[in-house]
Amino acid sequence: MKKVIIDILKRGLKELDVKRSEEEIERLIETPPSQEMGDYAFPCFSLAEELKDEPHLIALKLKAEIGNYPQTELDDIQTAGPYINFFLDRKDMARQVVWEAINFEEKYGRGEIGKKKKIVVEYSSPNIAKPFGIGHLRSTIIGNAIANLCEFQGFKVKRINYLGDWGTQFGKLAYGYKKFGKESALKKNPIKHLLEIYIKVNRSEKNEDPSREAFKKMEGGDKELLLLWRIFKDLSLEEFEKLYKRMGIKFDEYEGESDYKRKTKLVVKELESKGLLKKSEGALIVDLEKENLGVCIIQKSDGASTYAARDIAAAISRYKKYKFNKMIYEVGQEQKLHFKQVFKILELMGYGWAKDCIHIDHGLYLGKDKKKFATRKGKTIFMEDILDQTHKLAAKEIKKRFPKLEKREIEERAEKVAIASIFYGDLKNTRTNNIVFDLDRFVSFE
C-alpha cells in the first residue's frame, strides 16, 4: 500500500517540478499518531526552501496536483496544515488480505524489500559461567523474531550470539573458584557450583580488590587463570546449546567479548590518533558531554579494557567482515546510554555506517515484588526450570483433554505447547514495558 502512495506523491511532485526518488519519498512518509488523522502522512516542510513557499500552501498545491487517485485502494486524501494525510479503503484492504492469505498460504506476507541487503542481528547474549536465566529470555525471543521477520522480507540475515565472557566478573569467578571451588562439585553440576561461588564472592567487599587483581592478571595472559576461564566457558556453552536446541533457536556465529580484548588496543590507538581520547583520573575516556551523553570510559585506570571498548572493536570488525546494511542489537533498555555512546563514538571516528547501527531495547522481567532479578544476590529464575514447569503444566492439560493419547505423543505435544506459550507469552506484550514474571499467567491455556 505504501508503494501506491509513493507513486501518487512522485507523480504529484513531478507536476510541481520537484524531483524526488522513491527512497527519498519513503523516508519522509510518517505514520500519524491516530487513525482520525489517516493511515499515512507526508510532511511538506522539506519542500519549502525549494518551492519558496509556506509548507501548508505547498500541501494544498500538491493535493491539487495529485487530483484523482485509485478509488479501490484509497478512501480519501486530505490536507492538515503542512501535511497530506492518506486514508486507506479498509474494506478493500480487508478483502485483499483475506484473498492473499488464502492463496499464498505460508508464503503470505513474504517480501523482497531486503533483496541483496545484509542485516546483522545480535541477540540472547547470556553471560558464561552463570545459568541461562530469565534475564536473557526476552532478548532471545524478541531477537529471534526480528531475525525471522528480516529473513521473511528477503534480507540476508547473520544471527550473532555475543556472549558475555570477559570483564571484572570473571576475575571474581576465577578468584572465587580458587578460594571456594571444589573440582568434584564442578564435575557434578558445573553451572550450579559456579553460581554458588559467584554469590559467595559478592557477599563481601573484601573480595573486590583481589577479584580486580585476578582479572588484571587474566588480561595480562596468566595461564592458570585463563585455563580456568576456558573450562568455565566450555561448560557454559554446553548448557546453553541444550536450551537453544530445545527452543528451536539457531545462531550463525558465536562471538564473545574475549574475541575483541586484544583489538581494544587498536581502538585506543585510533581514538588517540583522531584526538578523541582524554586522560581522567588515570583512565582513558571519550568526553561526550557536548552530545549530552556524558563520559564513556574506554580503558580503566588499572589498564583493563571496558565493555564499550570491546563493543566498538566488535562493530568495526563486523562491518569489515559482513559489510552490513543494518546492524541490530536486541539488548535490554538499561543499555540505552551505552549504545548511544558507542554509536556516537563510531560516528566521531569517521565511520559513516554508524548511522546503520540500531539498538532495539526491551523492558525487564521483574519478580512479584516488582524488583529486578539479580544473579549476584542469588535471585533469578532459570530457563531450564521455566521450560520444565511449562512442559509439566501443558502435559497435564493435554492428558485431561485427550485421555486416550499415548504418553510419547502427550510429551511431544506438551513440549511444542510449552515453547509456543513461552514465546507468545513474551511477544504479546509491549516490547518496551517491564513485565512481572508470573508463570501461571504465562502458561494460561485460556
Arithmetic mean of pLDDT over the chain: 91
Res 85 pLDDT > 70: yes
**pLDDT at residue 443, as a whole number:** 64
Res 380 pLDDT > 70: no
Amino acid found at 238: E
- How far is residue 150's CA from residue 395's CA, in Å, rounded to a whole number? 34
Its pTM stands at: 0.79
Quick one: residue 55, left, alpha or beta (phi over 0 = left, psi -120 to 50 = alpha)? alpha
Range from 134-138, 249-253, 417-421 carrying the lowest mean pLDDT: 134-138
Among candidate residues 443, 445, 446, 429, the one with its CA nearest the CA of residue 366? 429
Please report the domains of the chain, with CATH numbers, ordered by start residue: 2-91 (3.30.1360.70), 118-366 (3.40.50.620), 383-442 (no CATH)
Res 441 pLDDT > 80: no
187-202: average pLDDT: 88
Decide if 445 contacts 424 (C-beta within 8 A).
no
For 330, residues 6+ apart whose C-beta sits below 8 A from its C-beta are: 121, 122, 123, 139, 142, 143, 146, 360, 362
For 314-324, b/e burial (b = at least 16 CB within 10 A) is bbbebbeebeb
Cell numbers placing 117:
541487503
| pLDDT tens per residue, range 6-65 | 999 999 999 999 999 999 999 999 999 998 899 999 999 999 999 999 999 999 999 999
| pLDDT tens per residue, range 91-148 | 888 998 999 999 999 999 899 999 999 999 999 999 888 888 777 899 999 999 999 9
- The torsion defined by the Cα of 334, 366, 388 and 197, in degrees rounded to 10, comes to 70
Among candidate residues 383, 377, 382, 407, the one with its CA nearest the CA of residue 395? 407
- How far is residue 50's CA from residue 18's CA, in Å, rounded to a whole number? 8
Place of cell 478509488: 71
For 324, residues 6+ apart whose C-beta sits below 8 A from its C-beta are: 118, 119, 120, 158, 318, 353, 356
Residue 216 pLDDT class (50, 70, 90 cuts): confident
- How far is residue 231's CA from residue 145's CA, in Å, rounded to a whole number? 32
Q: How many CB atoms lie within 10 A of CB 376?
A: 15
443 phi, psi to nearest 5 deg: -110, 20
Helix (H) or strand (E) holding 390: helix 383-401
**pLDDT at residue 31, as a whole number:** 93
Q: How many CB atoms lie within 10 A of CB 133?
A: 21
